Amino acid sequence: MEHTITVVLLILIVILYMLPSLLAYGRQHPRRQELLILNILLGWTLIGWIAAFLWALLARPEPQPG
């Protein structure tokens, strides 16, 4: 049971760490690849993570065709 809790916690930490990138891809952010790189390289710093998070939320998503 102890290993299961550890694995679940690690998965939750990774999801939280990658949240800005997940939001960017979900919202069809026009520069989602650059945001992903920022998130991976500087997300470990609190400032880098907040910058990526705000960038993912504040940019306008790509218009959907049709």
Write down the pLDDT at residue 65: 72
Mean pLDDT score, 38-65: 89
Question: CB under 8 Å to 32, separation ≥6 — which residues?
Answer: 21, 24, 25
Residue 62's pLDDT band (boundaries 50, 70, 90)? low
pLDDT tens digit sequence for 4-48: 999 999 999 999 999 999 999 999 999 999 999 999 999 999 999
pTM (predicted TM-score)? 0.83
Q: Provide the 10 A C-beta neighbour count for residue 39.
A: 26
Q: What is the CA radius of gyration of the chain?
A: 14
Compute the C-alpha angle 17/21/23, nearest 5°.
105
Question: Would you kindly state where each structural domain of the chain is located, as residue ranges?
Answer: 2-58
